[in-house]
Amino acid sequence: MKTAYAAVNIGNEFGFAGGRFENLGSAITQLVEPGFSIAAFLVILYFLWGAFKYLQAGENKEEVSAAKQMISHAIVGFIILMFAFLILQFLVGGLFEFNRYRGGFNIFRGN
């Protein structure tokens, strides 16, 4: 009877990204981290654009309303982004051997 190896290094077996990724989870990790950074930057930019429009609106009620909507949409976008991040970290992380986010700032680190 032949042995079946279920855990395969897809990088070596199939030439996936030149052998750089061992499994689907490591490939997803490389795409998700920059994706969240770009999305967070865009949400902050949209929020600041709405705040600038709010300051420039003066007494024009239509422009004030449009600027408030932009700010509200940016806040909702940020909340959605945070929930997506949490879902990827805690729910999907176990399915695909997804490497959890390693970044961050730790003030208690000794360096």
pLDDT of the chain, 111 residues: tens digit per residue: 676 666 665 555 555 555 566 666 667 777 778 888 899 999 999 999 999 999 999 899 999 999 999 999 999 999 999 998 888 777 666 665 555 555 544 444 444
Q: Is residue 96 within 8 Å of residue 28, measured between CB atoms?
A: yes
Alpha carbon 48 to chain centroid, angstroms: 20
Tokens matching residue 100 = 């959890």
Cα–Cα distance between 38 and 41 in angstroms, integer? 5
Q: What DSSP character marks residue 95?
A: T
Cα–Cα distance between 65 and 43 in angstroms, integer? 19
